[in-house]
A and B are shown apart, each in its own frame.
Chain A
Amino acid sequence: MSVLFAPKDAGRAAMLATLAGELYAAPDLGTLLERAVEFAAPAVGCDCAGVILWPGHGLEERHSAGSDWRAVQADQLQQWVDDGPGTSPLTADIVTADDTASDAQWPRWGPLVAAELGLHSVLSVALPGHQHRLGVLNLYATRPAVFTIADHALVRPLAVHIALAVTVTTTAGTLERAIASRTRIGQATGVLMERFGLDEADAFAMLKRRSQDQNIALRSVAASLLAERQLPQSRRPPLECRQQ
């Protein structure tokens, strides 16, 4: 920390510790991201902040949050025009635009953000992961050329803190879901064993084949069986199931 922070920035170290505490106490990933962007904008001294997590790394879908409507809109615009700092890999850990209206990095998204939302300065910092970047934290300001090299000293550790908390929460979520999946698969196997007089191996094979045939995850096949109490499109087991 002493390397990152000059004495006058000691307050920032305390702020980051506060952020870490709030993030780890977040009940879920959505709340974690909300807290991260609500913290980031005033901490850096900009007008609003948005965060985007890409699918993968234990996340099944894209997640995002914005500290106000402009940040939320800026994020949605990225998806609509498929352009912007969250749509393609950043060329560096931190990239900035002094004026989105004329910046060459995001030719479609930049002018829209400038004209529609009045956001001219952007600083985007990658959220570092174990092997891949998890996503990106975007900081916005209405005035042009707001972000300087001095901001890097804060946004780098900020991004690391957010990324660590995201990793912990997504890993915990994966663990929880994986345990629940095994429970559902076991229960669904039992339902098939009883309904069709199968042994465990054949009942499991039946679930597995359904999963492969329909290209649905095994846990989803199990969950829908338990919910509907019947295999989709299959009232009786195929004969080979009974004979094996």
Chain B
Amino acid sequence: MASPRVRQILYEVVTSPPGDTSSTDQVLSRLCAASTAALAVDGAAVALITADGHAGLLAASDAPAAAMEDLQHTVGEGPCLDASRSGSPVLQPDLARTGMARWPGFTPSAADAGIAAVFAFPLNVGAIQLGVLDLYRTTVGPLDALDLAEALDFAAAATIILLDLQQEAPAGQLHPLLAEATEGHREIHQATGMISVQAAVGLTEALLLLRAHAYAAERPLIDIARDVVRRHLTFQPQGDHDE
């Protein structure tokens, strides 16, 4: 499964910096840093993504990389979600020009965060979606062939790290490190459940209502979810929900 280059990447991120025995929670951060250094990109993030959507940020090299993930989770669309769903890389060398039609919610906010190009690589095993390696650049332009191959190797290394972590977990349970990443979404799930009762709608629509509210208020999804959970915000049943 692992090519020599993938093994080399794993060796580097698991063992570096020299002399420092790595704790596992640093491994993915180092993978983000190593990919940013090795490729013509400015930042990288690794997120958990399943068929249900974004499930939590695992590591990000800098603030824009983290913002890129939060944004995709808030609006429920974006390159990393498409990459995960399709199982193929999504390459956007000029996001402002080509992204608007595809992700009208994601693209303007990403541009505001200084993201000009996005390259998203799925971390999939067969048809199973586990996550994504998201790379961004502040200037437009494609990844060259060498960088593309290298990025795929980084994605393969990230997949192996995820599986390796999970293998250490007690049977049937999520590894604590991965569980911690999903914890950030706990209130969103609870708010979704609450809204589904409040507005008498299904869970999918409840999440859409939550998203629409966050988008209209220009606030992160998690903030709105906390308002719902703390009962500062209540949704009402209605025939249509045009705010």
B196 interface contact, C-beta 8 A: yes
Is the Cβ of B128 less than 8 Å from the Cβ of A173? Answer: yes
Can you name 5 A-B pairs with beta carbons within 8 Å?
A: A56-B171, A174-B169, A176-B50, A178-B178, A194-B194
Please give the residue numbers on chain B whose beta carbons come within 8 Å of chain A beta carbons, in ascending order.
1, 48, 50-52, 55, 125-130, 162-163, 166-167, 169, 171-174, 178-179, 182, 185-198, 203, 229
- Which of A19-27, A150-158, A232-240 binds B? A19-27
Max chain B C-beta neighbours (<10 A), residue from A26, A167, A187:
A187
Complexed CA–CA distance, A180 and B1 (Å): 26
**Which residues of A from 158 to 201 have beta carbons under 8 Å from B?**
164, 167-169, 171-176, 178-180, 182-183, 185-195, 200
Is the Cβ of B50 less than 8 Å from the Cβ of A172? Answer: no
Which chain B positions have C-beta within 8 A of A26?
Answer: 126
Which residue of chain A has the shortest Cβ distance to B125 in the bound complex? A172
Is the Cβ of B192 less than 8 Å from the Cβ of A187? Answer: yes
Q: Tell me which of B127, B162, B195, B203 contacts A175 (CB under 8 A).
A: B162
Is the Cβ of B52 less than 8 Å from the Cβ of A180? Answer: yes
Check A183/B55 contact, CB under 8 A, given A189-B190, A190-B191, A191-B193. Answer: yes
Which chain A positions have C-beta within 8 A of B196?
Answer: 187, 190-191
Q: Tell me which of B127, B166, B178, B203 contacts A187 (CB under 8 A).
A: B203
Please give the residue numbers on chain A whose beta carbons come within 8 Å of chain B beta carbons, in ascending order.
20, 24-28, 31-32, 56-58, 130, 164, 167-169, 171-176, 178-180, 182-183, 185-195, 200, 226
Is the Cβ of A186 less than 8 Å from the Cβ of B193? Answer: yes
Complexed CA–CA distance, A131 and B48 (Å): 27
Which residue of chain A has the shortest Cβ distance to B162 in the bound complex? A175
Is the Cβ of A175 less than 8 Å from the Cβ of B191? Answer: no
Q: Tell me which of A130, A178, A186 contacts B174 (CB under 8 A).
A: A178
Which chain B positions have C-beta within 8 A of A31?
Answer: 126
Complexed CA–CA distance, A175 and B127 (Å): 13
Complexed CA–CA distance, A187 and B191 (Å): 7
Q: How far is the CB of B202 from chain A (nearest CB, A)?
A: 9
Is the Cβ of A186 less than 8 Å from the Cβ of B130? Answer: no
Is the Cβ of A28 less than 8 Å from the Cβ of B1? Answer: no
Q: Known contacts A178-B172, A187-B196, A189-B193; can you find 20 more A-B pairs with CB under 8 A?
A: A27-B127, A31-B126, A169-B128, A172-B126, A173-B128, A175-B166, A175-B178, A176-B51, A176-B128, A178-B173, A178-B178, A183-B52, A183-B55, A183-B182, A185-B189, A186-B190, A190-B189, A190-B197, A193-B194, A194-B193
Q: Tell me which of B130, B167, B171, B172 contacts A176 (CB under 8 A).
A: B130
Which chain A positions have C-beta within 8 A of B55?
Answer: 179, 183
Check A172/B174 contact, CB under 8 A, given A24-B1, A183-B52. Answer: no
Which chain A positions have C-beta within 8 A of B197?
Answer: 190-191, 194-195
Complexed CA–CA distance, A66 and B81 (Å): 36
Q: Tell me which of B1, B127, B187, B198 contacts A194 (CB under 8 A).
A: B198
Q: How far is the CB of A233 from chain B (nearest CB, A)?
A: 20
